[in-house]
């Protein structure tokens, strides 16, 4: 059990509120600097090195390691790295270790971001970290560098208020969340455990009750190139790829028809999403396309495993190819290219959830709402694979993966307080 706090709960709340407010200008500057790192997949090291130094400056014990430093690929839940240099993908774990008897905690956030797209379609430069009218703009400002700043400054607030957690706390910044989840998994393989985990993804200060799973796959389609004047004598890989896309769109409709039986997503319209996120193909405008590659994503419901979903993808592809005279003789190559993510449920009634509910009420003066997510987050490893209660809860904003991504700074302030209160209530605190 957590150690007794030396002040009454309402006094702790007001002390932490004052500390969050006093530090908030620094937090906004910290977040803006984070956004200015263009931490795309494979390019996260400068961001992680900077964070490691920030943690060291705060007196934490810092462990920086790469995906190559753990036995990742032997783990049954590891996803394909698909050409990413494991040695260049750094994870950072900063540990505050207490001799107290409180409950231990992991606070984790990812610092990898998705590509920004054409910069001229943004109102500001994509990595400006600009602040305007109570919002911060930039790729990653919302998803999820704001949450990372909240977990760091939540602990700063506890210290500024004259306290320290009465338990061990790990602050973890990871990569690969947007593509495989291997960064979070690597911390677990490294041996980091706790009595609970909180991941401050941008949930609009709601708790994610359930999330779908996700599979990434690539289709390499071939064609027979001929001059367009004789196109009837050849085949176009691009047109064949379009045939496969239509087949997967129909398959997704079938999956969503079954979703009405899912215990969590039955009331969500079309919870299974199919997406062609990247398409490449062809060499010449006057030649039928000799090749085409599609990078795709498909979700899965809470009663299905990634392996079952992958078999379904294989069966859909086989049926579509059998119905096409060229593809039946020249099948596309199927490559598993990233996510093989389990769905996950944060079961109601947990002790960690009760503590977060109280912390949220104190910070927002409103009850904690829940959400269902048709995307994935890293809590799945903790609750599904390692039996660690895991909560996904963070600030409000708009435009994740979109132009003009932005986070509401007042929401960030209150979320930081809520996390600070959660740490204080979960771990207990002692006077410095």
Domain 214-341 classified CATH 3.30.70.20? no
The CATH fold of domain 9-211+343-431 = Aminopeptidase (3.40.630)
- How far is it, in rounded angstroms, from Cα 58 to Cα 69? 25
For the chain, domain boundaries: 9-211+343-431, 214-341
Residue 58 CA neighbour count, 13 Å, CB half: 24
Query: Strand 197-199 vs strand 333-341: parallel, antiparallel, or unpaired?
Result: unpaired
Can you state the angle between helices 9-35 and 146-160, rounded to 10 degrees? 140
Give pLDDT, residue 8.
67
Tokens of 201: 């993804």
For 174, how many CA atoms within 13 A lie in the half-sphere containing its CB? 29
Contact by Cβ (8 Å): 411, 205: yes
Chunked mean pLDDT (size 10), the chain, 432 residues = 53 96 98 98 98 98 98 96 94 94 97 98 97 98 98 98 97 98 98 98 98 98 97 97 98 96 95 98 97 98 97 98 97 98 96 98 98 98 96 98 98 98 97 90
Q: What is the 3-state secondary structure (H, E, C) of the chain?
A: CCCCCCCCHHHHHHHHHHHHHHHHHHHHHHHHHHHCCCCECCCCHHHHHHHHHHHHHCCCEEEEEEHHHCCCCCCCCCCCCCCCCHHHCEEEEEEECCCCCCCCEEEEEECCECCCCCHHHCCCCCCCCCEECCEEECCCHHHHHHHHHHHHHHHHHHHHCCEEECCCEEEEEECCCCCCCHHHHHHHHHCCCCCCEEECCCCCCCEEEEECEEEEEEEEEECECCEHHHHHHCECHHHHHHHHHHHHHHHHHHHHHHHHHCCCCCCCCCCCCEEEEEEEECCCCCECCCEEEEEEEEEECCCCCHHHHHHHHHHHHHHHHHCCCCCCCCCCEEEEEEEEECCEECCCCCHHHHHHHHHHHHHHCCCCCEEEECCCCCHHHHHHHCCCCEEECCCCEECCCCCCCEEEHHHHHHHHHHHHHHHHHHHCEEEC
So what's the pLDDT on residue 83?
87
């Amino acid at each position: 059990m957590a150690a007794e706090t030396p002040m009454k709960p309402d006094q702790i709340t007001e002390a932490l509120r004052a500390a969050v407010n006093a530090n908030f200008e620094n937090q906004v500057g910290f977040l803006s600097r984070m956004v200015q790192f263009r931490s795309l997949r494979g390019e996260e090291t400068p961001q992680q090195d900077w964070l490691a130094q920030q943690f060291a400056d705060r007196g934490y014990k810092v462990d920086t390691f790469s995906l190559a430093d753990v036995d990742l690929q032997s783990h049954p839940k590891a996803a394909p790295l698909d050409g990413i240099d494991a040695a260049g993908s750094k994870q950072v774990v900063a540990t505050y270790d207490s001799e107290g008897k409180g409950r231990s905690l992991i606070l984790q956030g990812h610092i990898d971001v998705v590509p920004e797209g054409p910069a001229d379609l943004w109102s500001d430069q994509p990595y400006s970290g600009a602040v305007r009218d109570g919002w911060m703009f930039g790729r990653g400002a919302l998803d999820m560098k704001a949450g990372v700043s909240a977990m760091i400054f939540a602990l700063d607030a506890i210290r500024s208020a004259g306290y320290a957690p009465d338990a061990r706390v790990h602050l973890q910044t990871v990569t690969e969340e947007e593509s495989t989840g291997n960064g979070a998994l690597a911390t677990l393989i490294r041996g980091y455990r706790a009595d609970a985990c909180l991941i401050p993804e941008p949930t609009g200060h709601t708790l994610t009750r359930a999330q779908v799973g996700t599979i990434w796959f690539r289709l390499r389609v071939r064609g027979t190139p001929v001059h367009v004047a004789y196109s009837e004598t050849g085949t176009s890989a691009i047109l064949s790829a379009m045939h496969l896309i239509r087949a997967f769109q129909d398959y997704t409709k079938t999956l969503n028809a079954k979703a009405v039986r899912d215990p969590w997503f039955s009331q969500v319209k079309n919870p299974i999403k199919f997406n062609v996120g990247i398409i490449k193909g062809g060499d010449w405008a006057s030649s039928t396309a000799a090749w085409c590659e599609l990078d795709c994503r498909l979700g899965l419901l809470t009663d299905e495993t990634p392996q079952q979903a992958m078999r379904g993808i294989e069966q859909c592809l086989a049926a579509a190819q059998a119905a096409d005279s060229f593809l039946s003789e020249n099948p596309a190559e199927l490559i598993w290219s990233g996510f093989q993510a389990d769905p996950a449920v944060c079961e109601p009634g947990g002790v960690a959830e009760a503590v977060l509910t109280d912390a949220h009420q104190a910070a927002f003066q409103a009850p904690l709402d829940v959400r269902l997510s048709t995307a994935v987050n890293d809590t799945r490893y903790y609750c599904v694979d390692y039996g660690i209660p895991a909560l996904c809860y963070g600030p409000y904003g708009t435009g994740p993966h979109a132009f003009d991504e932005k986070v509401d700074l007042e929401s960030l302030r209150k979320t930081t307080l809520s996390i600070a209160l959660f740490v204080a209530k979960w771990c207990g605190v002692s006077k410095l």
